[in-house]
Amino acid sequence: MGLPKNVKKHLPLTLNKTLLKRREELLEQIEVDGTYLPKSILHADLDRGMLDFVRDELGISINGKNVSNIDLIITTQNWAQFTETWNFQDLDKNIKPPFVATVRNPDAKFGTNPSLQYTIPNRRQFYYAKVPTWDGQRKGMDIYKIPQPVPVDITYNVKIFCNRMRELNDFNKKVLQKFSSRQAYTEIKGHYIPMILNSSSDESVLELEKRKYYVQSYEFLMMGFLLDEEEFEVSPAISRTATIFEVDTLNTGRRVEKYPSNPSDFDLDIIFVSGIESLTETYRYEIDLTILESTNVDSYSVYINGNYIGDDVSTIKVSTNDEIKIDVVKIDITKQSVLKSKARLL
């Protein structure tokens, strides 16, 4: 058993990126050259991607010599002309077989790319990136927005012209190997565009009166999308906010305090409701109480911390945390009694 021809002489020391790291790597490829925005992908870019795919992925060699590949998209009109005259009159080239040519169908239908099919109504702009800016005075941000790409399906026919069956078999093997998983991808400006092999057909010319040659045609469907940079939107973000309010500069009146300062002298009414003839209270501050007048009181007795002070005293000196007890003798026990006093904080 012979050794395989493709022998690896070098082993990679770093593993390929996967998951989120791979997504970031793909995004960097899309934004290459520092534009912060993806590049446009139009019909001409899709055609260029197809030509690169045929050249790089479907190329074959015969006896150590690469099979020629026409690096131009041929329209159906030029193709009909070519089959009759065996040369490219419009392209000013004559190529001897074997060679590979790419023919594009002129119609481009609305795409079947599963990631873009009718997912968002209307042509709306969506946030793509936030880019820092500097105008020489302050920092800011620009908001980059892009619309959803438009899917498009384009059909290409890749044809190989050759004089021998061996060349036809080599190309057929290369195509079937590439599309053994149904679809393959071509990279266009950092985006990976899928394509599938629809069918293959034989267009060989074997008539006696004409030149004999083999022609094998492979129909590929590219499920691409269109992204026009003319639809991109760049708008500045809010870098600062200003609050504006009006004031009355003609108002020169004196400012009035909403709340007055705490007074040192204040009125204090000691009320004995009906049925109550004794009150006890502990004061948290030092004051002088001066009894000014009484209502429905025949007489009263004053006690401080349980000690008898006297009857009908006019001034009561209270220290901090003193317990004051006042007993009254009412004139009419069915009514309330009141001792009106003046309190002074010391």
Question: Does 9 reside within a domain?
Answer: no
Is residue 229 classed as helix, strand or coil in its secondary structure?
helix
Give the integer Cα–Cα distance in Å for 284 and 13. Answer: 83
Give me the pLDDT at residue 3, please.
Answer: 55
Which one has a higher pLDDT value, 154 or 117?
A: 154
- Average of per-residue pLDDT across 116-145: 79
Q: Same domain for 27 and 112?
A: yes
pLDDT digits (tens, 9 = 90+) for 6-53: 666 666 667 777 777 776 776 676 666 656 778 888 999 999 999 999
What band does 89 get if pLDDT is binned at 50, 70 and 90?
very low
Q: Same domain for 60 and 175?
A: yes
Question: Does 88 reside within a domain?
Answer: yes
For the chain, give the percent of residues with pLDDT over 90. Answer: 18
Full domain range(s) for residue 197: 20-236
Question: Does 6 reside within a domain?
Answer: no
Domain count, the chain: 2
Q: Same domain for 62 and 143?
A: yes
pLDDT of 101 higher than 70: yes
The CATH number of the domain holding residue 303 is 2.60.120.10
Give me the pLDDT at residue 95, please.
Answer: 58
Q: Same domain for 206 and 332?
A: no
The CATH number of the domain holding residue 62 is 3.30.2000
Q: Same domain for 219 and 130?
A: yes
Give me the pLDDT at residue 91, please.
Answer: 47
**Domain end: 236, 256, 275, which one?**
236
Tell me what the pLDDT averaged over the chain comes to.
Answer: 80
Q: Same domain for 230 and 270?
A: no
| Least confident residue range of 22-31, 140-149, 221-230, 309-318 | 22-31
- End-to-end Cα distance, the chain: 117
| Structure tokens, 33 | 């050259």
Are 49 and 226 within 8 A, CB to CB?
Answer: no
Q: Same domain for 46 and 194?
A: yes
Question: Does 11 reside within a domain?
Answer: no
pLDDT digits (tens, 9 = 90+) for 178-202: 999 888 999 998 888 999 999 999 8
Report which of 82, 19, 84, 48 is spatially closest to residue 191, judged by C-alpha positions. 48
Q: Same domain for 317 and 201?
A: no
User: Chain-centre distance of CA 309, in angstroms?
Assistant: 82
Question: Does 250 reside within a domain?
Answer: no
- Average of per-residue pLDDT across 52-62: 90
